[in-house]
Structure 1
């Protein structure tokens, strides 16, 4: 009993001491602990890039021969007579370009405006199946990854060496195919988007995934469908946003392995998505739709505005926000380049359009340090494909659309 009373007395003395400390602290001014975007823990390096939108962009260099060579783009029994490009990406130092095209080939180009202002094809990698996605590593300028039909996620170096391979294993111990991929900002993990699942792989450990995030359960609901795009939050490296063929965009925590927010939208499946540079807004674009929508992630996915962008067919039309976070660049199905000033608010009176090509612009990539940008042009034209059979020469109706497949670099 004496021990119990001694314990109660000690507790009372501690409470009195804490009360005195609280009274002393209450007389002092409260320090504001809110971190701004300029805090060193979440500092964003903004390069000094000046764009001149008063005139049309200047063509620096174009590359079409490797995409139009009929002998090189034959694969097995199918001849890809229309080898349109699906995506193009600059690496982090702007010296290399990566492209994927309809002939199931990843192409690597070098371009240096200062020393050699020519687009040089330095390597080709046949992937066997349809290429869903291709990305550069954010921390290593020499490593890129891609995912293709019925194949694992592959990481390669610029010299052609296979760096690593990741297999998404399902509950039946069978390999699934990732439809999209992305890297974490520190480059330590690779994230793959599958049907109703997100799988995380360790960068330096090949094989199966480290863990899964279930995005949809039959009785609990969630984000349903095949993932089409994954994006890491540029400020918080533990948050990843993903779009699917369904009616939601989800934001997931890699720490808790769970969904933090579902954003409903009006698109018939989202095909492309980008974060704003401060990580507060999400821009999404749908399949065969006329605009890009902006949602505020701080207000449970409230839709703020729409940015008009013509898209008349089902081809994926990519867009990108420049390194300064001020402008959104997007191609269109009519061959025009649209640039929207994100600093102008919801009115967007400063949206500019430049007609530069007679065919669709499905992909655009901005140079990370200069006022250069690369575009991939071309679109799927039916009939497609032509099989090497006896009926090759049968006349079939075709759309009156010019076939112009290539890669071009422009400058503002």
Structure 2
């Protein structure tokens, strides 16, 4: 990762222009049909220097933000699409269930550059974002002292703890103490999704495969149940707290609604937003750092954008047809008007190979400019000159 550009990091919130045609900046593509190498989401690092994605059967990959995107308020529409080449790759062959950046990650301090992941039949791993090396592991054991794989993982707001969702409990590991020491909070159903509130440290939302969400407060190794939310038709797959921590947004598998919960009055949803989600695959949502914009993907390949700063259901809705296959991952850059998306899903194969034509599916990691755009004056001049000469 490039340390030279980290020192000039912007702190101001970007100006978004979602209503403009999104300008593709960079792309990386993976093959699909034989090995089913489809992507499973994407996440910008907290300092915005790089993007992390997981590819089924092809490991985890870290892509750097192109250097020309660190500055400037306007981008020329003639900018060529750059190929994304992994700066770091971790060749994990097993299925990765979940992953999360360390919240204090800063490329100027290599010790903070890491992410955590959970995979099939394995412990939780902490990976070095500079080298791709395994730093340490956290092992969760069940009542019969057998190693369990965590279904979901996330860091606490301060990064001191790692919350891991299992089938019968949520285990909390101390980040600075790898191994098998943990405290746990029992849950009725498998914890499929976990997110921590940045505005209210210690408050954690636990989503389950039984379409319910439980809010708990955790401090000093003790837990306090706050409330339980129910309204989805499928198991919870993605959640995000608002910037002030007063709202929680949630999405579920095979459920076309993204629900906004007002946590001051948590009895019923505040409003619902529609998206296409007709598969069991996790389709993520994200909220801009300014707290105004919510984005989500969909199985139709479209990215839905809403302005959620209003006190009621948002009136501003923008639809971006960015992919030809399922858009399962969306992530807004923390301080630049750049949207990252990941596409792909499992496709049923013809076991008898009746078809001679091998289908091509889109499995791409893309970066899109969603800020101010400007036509290239030299390009316009060249087009006018060519039209005149003809």
- Aligned counterpart for 2:322 among listed residues 348, 356, 364: 356
1:144 aligns with 2:115: yes
d(CA) in 1 for partners of 2:319 and 2:195?
27
Larger gyration radius, structure 1 or structure 2: 1
CA separation of 1:366 and 1:68: change in aligned 2, threshold 3 A:
same
Runs of 4+ in structure 1 deviating by more than 6 angstroms, as ranges, are 397-401
Cα displacement (A) at 1:69: 8.4
CA contact (8 A) 2:272 2:313 kept: no
Q: Which residue of 1 aligns with 2:214?
A: 250
CA contact (8 A) 1:164 1:204 kept: no
Q: Which residue of 1 aligns with 2:298?
A: 332
Cα displacement (A) at 1:104: 4.9
Q: Which residue of 2 aligns with 1:132?
A: 97
Cα displacement (A) at 1:400: 11
- Aligned counterpart for 2:48 among listed residues 94, 97, 103: 94
CA separation of 1:364 and 1:115: change in aligned 2, threshold 3 A:
closer
1:181 aligns with 2:153: yes
SS in 2 for 1:306: strand
d(CA) in 2 for partners of 1:399 and 1:336?
27
Q: Which residue of 2 aligns with 1:409?
A: 367
CA separation of 1:404 and 1:340: change in aligned 2, threshold 3 A:
same
* Alpha-carbon RMSD: 2.4
- Aligned counterpart for 2:15 among listed residues 31, 50, 55: 50
d(CA) in 1 for partners of 2:356 and 2:282?
21
1:189-338 matches, within 5 Å, as 189-215=161-187, 224-255=188-219, 256-338=222-304
1:59 aligns with 2:30: no
d(CA) in 1 for partners of 2:357 and 2:257?
24
1:360-375 matches, within 5 Å, as 360-375=326-341
Q: Greater shift after overlay, 168-177 or 365-374?
A: 168-177
**What runs of 5+ residues in structure 1 fail to find an aligned partner?**
1-44, 71-78, 216-223, 385-391
Number of residue pairs aligned between Structure 1 and Structure 2: 341
Cα displacement (A) at 1:399: 12
CA separation of 1:399 and 1:236: change in aligned 2, threshold 3 A:
farther
Cα displacement (A) at 1:327: 0.6
**What runs of 5+ residues in structure 2 fail to find an aligned partner?**
1-9, 71-81, 107-112, 371-390
Looking at both structures, which has the greater relative contact order when contacts are Cα pairs under 8 Å and sequence separation is at least 6? Answer: 2
Q: How high is the TM-score relative to the length of structure 1?
A: 0.78
